[in-house]
Every structure is written in structure tokens, then in C-alpha cells.
Amino acid sequence: MSRTVAVVGASLAGLSAARALREQSYDGRIVLIGDEVHPPYDRPPLSKEFLAGSASLDDILLGAPDDADLDLEWRLQTTAIGLDHLSRSVLLADGSEVRADGVVLATGARARLLPGSEGLGGVHVLRCLDDANALRADLATAERLVVIGGGFIGAEVASTARTLGLEVTVVESQPVPLAGPLGAEMGTVCAELHAAHGTRLLTGTGVAGLVGTDRVEAVELTDGTRLPADVVVVGIGAAPNIEWLARSGVALGNGVLTDARGATNIPGVVAVGDCAATWSVAAERHVRIEHWANALEQPATAVATLLGTGAPAPTPVPYFWSDQYGARIQFAGSRRQGDDVRVLEGSCADHSFLVVYERDGQPVAVLAMNQPRLFTRWRRQLRTAVPAGS
């Protein structure tokens, strides 16, 4: 490696990449480029403690005292608009460019918008700090919240809004929320938390549109039902921030396509975090993982690739967690349709359990609710227990 590495994206994955460069003895220039004005901050609290007002910006900042020793050149509030793959120059919206010997792509993802919601007051997505500030201000004067999308973000916002005293309705187009990651059986169990805490859950119905002129007044469902709403939160997934790379020559799909070690098709360019679609040997396809643990851990491997150390690619075990209505839900592994589900500890009815997913008699994933200690043991075991080709 030569003397400059540009890290495009200044959130957890980008900061983790910068730290990994120094940890792996790179002593050249590191330029960290981010389009937000804020320094790197932790995103999971945005739908929980920060939204509820029990955590401040200082509480969620990712910076550590040792970061001063990283000697980073920060370019915040600066948007990357292109990449010249021949010179590995990152082109910026202010007309300048950063010439680099290596580039780490860590531009993350953005919340998908509900078509027709643009410009309508009271309609929110939640992906960044500015989103959370705007939503928090609106919730402070609202009485009725409708959440569109019953995934983890939607469920966490619903949970927080209930603690703030709002009347909450969650609308999920699929028959069972969270059936994708957890399966229908355990998705149903986790969805019971809504009713147990006074949240109305409507499943198997879509949204036809929003009602209101300048500000939202109701959500109209495909069955004709109108749900009065002072505030609407749209939680229907995220799209990778890769459009700026359209003319770069970097291979794109549902994210920046990389091999198992984070390398793109362009020498000296790697990708990490929510924007990266990384080749999974187990799944035999490119997989984009939008989880905090991946953004924290994956950059070390990609940086080693960039520096040419050639260490073997790890076999990651996907992990995520969600805090809802005072319950901690944790999941690790890779579930498939048809896996056997076995309760090993506790009771689903009591919302305290540990479940193992098995395939051909072997554990491939584990789900826990309010069983953090036992879950941690099983998560460690999965790294060696998950069979090849799972």
C-alpha cells in the first residue's frame, strides 16, 4: 500500500475501517469523507433511547478518546459524487477530489420512501440523526401514530411511542411480521409483544395511500380502511447508497458487489457495511447484511484485503438484536424455510425463551427473547457448529 486511503462514509463501518487501518499498522494518510454534519454516532438508539429523549447526542457518539491518535483527516458535510477507478480519485460535490491509493466504500443505505409521501408533513422515515430529531419533535405533540412496516425499526418505534403515551397502530403487508428473518412461527411469537403492550397490529393488508393536503391526516389501506394519524412512520426497508458509483466501473447489484474478503472488481477498492453485497460461500450468492455487528466487524477483513495481508476470509455468523417493549430479542445464524424449530429454554408464552433452528439435525441459528446469557453461549457455538453450505 502507498500513502493515502480514502474512506467514503463516516458512520460505524467507515470509522471501523479507519480504526482497522491503524490497528493493522497502516501509517499513511487516511481521509474520512461523510455527507452528514455530525461526527459518527450509533444508530440503534435512534429508534429507542434517543427517540424517547432518555439519551442525548453525546450519549450516542461513537468517538473514543483513543481516536485522537488515529490522525484522521475529516471531510464531514461533504458528499461523494463519483469515483475515477483509473486514478482511484473520489470526486466530491464541492468540486474537489481526493486522490487515493486505496478506497473503502462505506456509504451505507437510506430508508425507502412511501410513494406519494414526499412533501407531506408528519410523515417520517428513520435512518439518521436528523430523521430522529424531526420525528421526536413531532411525537411530542401527537396523539396517534401509524407505523407502516412491521419490521424491527417499525416495531422499535412503535414500542417507544407507546412509552410516550401515544395510540399506535402498526400496518404490515405480510401475514406475519418478521417472518423473513425469523420464520412464521417465531415471527408470530415476537409480534405478540405489540398486543401485550396496547399496540394495534394489522397484518396482511397494504397501504393504498396517505390522506392529507399539507399534513398527513390518515393512512388509507387497500381494503378501504382509514386510520387517523397525527404522525406516520414509514419503515419499509432500505436501499444501498450506490448511485454515485454508477459510472465508476465498480460492479453493482443490490449493493457494491464484493468477494468474501470485501474486494470489488476494481483493484484497490473494497466495500463494507450496509452498502456492500458480499459473496457468501454458504449462501452461494451476494448478501447485503444491514446489521450493526456486521458494520463493526467486517471492515477488519476488508482492510486486510486492501493492505494485501492475504488472511483467509472468515466465516461470519450474522447477528442482530432488537429491543421492544422492554424485551430483548437476539438472533444469530442463517435460517432457511423448512428448518426445524426447537425451544430449549423458557416459554414462548412467557416471552422468555431460547429457540434453536436445526437443519439435518445440526444447529444453524438461534433466537432468544430475554435470555442474553444463554444466547451468548449459543452464539459462540454457532461459529463452529454451522455446517458448510448452510
- pLDDT, residue 385, reads 59
- pLDDT, residue 375, reads 97
pLDDT tier at 72, thresholds 50, 70, 90: very high
Q: Quick one: DSSP state of residue 374?
A: H
Distance CA 20, CA 26 (A): 9
DSSP per residue, 59-123: HHB---GGGGGG-EEEE-S--EEEEETTTTEEEETTS-EEE-SEEEE---EEEPPPTT-TT-BTE
> How many DSSP H helices and E strands does the chain contain?
9, 27
Residue 59 has pLDDT above 90, yes or no: yes
Name all domains of the chain by residue range, CATH numbers in brackets.
4-110+240-307 (3.50.50.60), 113-236 (3.50.50.60), 326-385 (3.30.390.30)
Q: pLDDT per residue over 101-135, tens digit each? A: 999 999 999 999 999 899 999 999 999 999 999 99
Q: Across the chain, what does the average pLDDT equal?
A: 95
Distance CA 274, CA 271 (A): 9
pTM over 0.85: yes
**Segment 301-312 mean pLDDT:** 89
The answer to whether 277 touches 234, Cβ cutoff 8 Å, is no
Residue 243 has pLDDT above 80, yes or no: yes
The answer to whether 50 touches 137, Cβ cutoff 8 Å, is no
Residue 386 has pLDDT above 80, yes or no: no
Distance CA 97, CA 117 (A): 35
Residue 1 has pLDDT above 60, yes or no: no
Q: Which residues contact 348 (CB under 8 A, 6 or more apart)?
A: 189, 355
More confident residue, 1 or 70: 70
pLDDT tier at 387, thresholds 50, 70, 90: very low
- pLDDT, residue 106, reads 98
pLDDT tier at 338, thresholds 50, 70, 90: very high
What three-state secondary structure class fits 170?
strand
Distance CA 103, CA 303 (A): 10
Of 27-41, 177-191, 249-263, 309-323, the range with the lowest mean pLDDT is: 309-323
More confident residue, 228 or 315: 228
- pLDDT, residue 281, reads 83
**Segment 50-75 mean pLDDT:** 95
CA dihedral (114, 337, 301, 319) positive or negative: positive
- pLDDT, residue 2, reads 54
Residue 283 has pLDDT above 50, yes or no: yes
Residue 341 has pLDDT above 60, yes or no: yes
